Structure 1
Amino acid sequence: MTITPTPVIFGEKSSKPALHWVSSEWRGILAEFVATALLLTFGCMACIPMDDIPASDSIFGPLGFGFTVMFNIQIFGHISGAFMNPFVTIAAVIWGKISIATGVAYILAECAGATLGYGLLTTLAHIDIAAEAVCVTLPRSGINEFQALGVEMVLSAALSLINCGVWDPVNAHNSDSVPLKFAFTIVGLSYAGAHLTGASMNPARSLGPAIWANRWDIHWVYWVGPLVGGVLPAIFYKYVWLRKPDPKLQD
């Protein structure tokens, strides 16, 4: 989600055989698959209702997703970037951190990982979480699809700008606390929007539960909202706020 992965040279790789590309990129692709699977397993595990706490009053879901993002970044950040999110992956392509081919592979891995992660939880939970639509992102009653779209766009925009701030070379010396920064960011944004739309901010995160629960109520919102709300701020930040290195200072 946040860290620049180690294998990042792609102008040279694009002209090499596909086999070489696979041999050099499979670790990152696998890391995105596993990281997103863990995100859904542990994040949605925290969303399983407790007997004495109404689901709408629980902060365990935001905490579960936030802290899972934290340890995923610590584990996988130096391998793939620990994006775990298609819009973050697209932003990484736009910023030139990974190639288009790698970005496509990451997105497919993230969607597959999310599906597997939620599927694993269906076998571990003591209730039928798919039948009860646990962790399925749905707008609350009274919110129309365009309001839900707006909420997802705003939440994703905030997450995207924070992500770009971490990528900014000016903050390169502040990387030690990146996992914690994102943990608390996800907790805060999730708690702010969970009671409105489920605070997805991540198409893959919404896709996995939707497949298992077969719930597709305005599912398009959870793709368009994060992709538009997340990618546009990344473009804006790169071309407006990102300062180019001063050649005089590099001499």
Structure 2
Amino acid sequence: MGNFHETLGINDFKSKNTIWKALLAEFLANVLLSFFGCASCVSYSGKAHGFVMIAFTFGLVIFVLVQTLGHVSGGHINPAVTVGMMSAGNISLLKGILYIIVQCLGSLVGSAVLKALTPEDLHKSGLGNTGLTKDISPVQGFGVEFFLGFILILVIFGVCDPNRPEAKPAAALAIGMAVAVGHLAAVDMTGASMNPARSFGSALIASDWTNHWVYWVGPILGAVAAALIYKHAFSAPNLGPVKIIERYTTVADEKELKRLDSGRRDDNMP
């Protein structure tokens, strides 16, 4: 019975403050992602925005959000990430479902705020809604989004591996750069969603659901594939507490230990 509760996620609700803080963090993160990210796709001056600016806007906003809110909810900010975590057993079923719901609601709110703050004559631009380029078929778009989800989750699992403590300080930056890389490579092909919730919010606000399934099925299947491959093939071995401590020992630490040891010997002298 205990294992069933753990898998389903019943135990997550015993600490109500923790789960609600996590859900609020995921909601707010998606509000900010959709607002700032999609705003970079709208040209207010009439000058076309370059793909580099869009890519780095999405990458940087993910970087700052993971850095700021990652300790509260894990910094998923993406249903594909959540499903990838669920497939690897890193998050319970109920908690994962609630994460996806608030992620989509947050994206909707962020896109709605962007629409409210954008001049009406610019609404026809789609306000950052993702869509396939003219010569890209839905199957090709699915393949592109599959690999965008794949690389994102592969990076997340790599830098958040509990047996790689040296990777944690740069984790948020690496995740943000993975998002930027995906946009640099594919924003002109599919819009480089990588995030079903981000596409959901902008599609609902723009009332355009053309090939919308691509932005759910592609990233999610890519995420699941990457999560399972990393978990079963690439997970770092458990080094044990002694080896982890040794990895972080510095020259300054050694000098301080010697000084303290010397002080103890002097105190014990008659």
- TM-score with structure 1 length normalisation? 0.87
Whether the 8 Å CA contact 1:44–1:64 is kept in 2: the answer is no
Structure 1 CA distance, aligned partners of 2:172 and 2:237? 26
Identity %: 32
- What SS is found at the alignment partner of 1:54? coil
* 2:193 equivalent to 1:200: yes
**1:30 aligns to what?**
24
Query: Structure 2 matches for 1:171-210, cutoff 5 A?
Result: 171-210=164-203
**2:250 aligns to what?**
none
Q: Which has the larger radius of gyration?
A: 2
**1:125 aligns to what?**
118
Q: Deviations for 1:95-154, whole angstroms, at most 9, x for unmatched residues?
A: 333211111111101000000001011111234554321211001011111111111111
Amino acid at match of 2:6: G
- What SS is found at the alignment partner of 1:184? helix
**2:151 aligns to what?**
158
Structure 2 CA distance, aligned partners of 1:17 and 1:243? 27
**1:238 aligns to what?**
231
Structure 1 CA distance, aligned partners of 2:57 and 2:198? 13
- Is the alpha carbon distance of 1:67 and 1:247 closer, same or farther for their aligned partners in structure 2, counting shifts above 3 Å? closer
Query: 1:60 deviation in Å?
Result: 1.8
Query: 1:168 deviation in Å?
Result: 1.6
Amino acid at match of 1:186: V
- What SS is found at the alignment partner of 1:216? coil
Q: CA RMSD in A?
A: 2.4
**1:72 aligns to what?**
65
Unaligned runs of 5+ in 1: 1-9
**2:257 aligns to what?**
none
Query: 1:94 deviation in Å?
Result: 2.9
Query: 1:232 deviation in Å?
Result: 1.2
Q: 1:48 aligned to 42, 50, 54, which one?
A: 42
Whether the 8 Å CA contact 1:122–1:128 is kept in 2: the answer is no
Structure 1 CA distance, aligned partners of 2:198 and 2:236? 33
Q: Deviations for 1:9-37, whole angstroms, at most 9, x for unmatched residues?
A: x839955595x354431000110000011
**Count of residue pairs the alignment pairs up:** 239
Query: 1:240 deviation in Å?
Result: 1.8
- What SS is found at the alignment partner of 1:153? helix
Whether the 8 Å CA contact 2:163–2:238 is kept in 1: the answer is no
- Is the alpha carbon distance of 1:128 and 1:73 closer, same or farther for their aligned partners in structure 2, counting shifts above 3 Å? farther
Q: 2:96 aligned to 103, 118, 121, which one?
A: 103
- Is the alpha carbon distance of 1:59 and 1:243 closer, same or farther for their aligned partners in structure 2, counting shifts above 3 Å? closer
Unaligned runs of 5+ in 2: 244-270
- Is the alpha carbon distance of 1:125 and 1:235 closer, same or farther for their aligned partners in structure 2, counting shifts above 3 Å? same
* 2:2 equivalent to 1:11: no
- Is the alpha carbon distance of 1:16 and 1:82 closer, same or farther for their aligned partners in structure 2, counting shifts above 3 Å? closer
**2:217 aligns to what?**
224
Amino acid at match of 1:78: H
Amino acid at match of 1:160: I
Query: 1:171 deviation in Å?
Result: 2.3
Worse overlay, 205-214 or 177-186: 177-186
Give the structure with the higher percent helix: 2
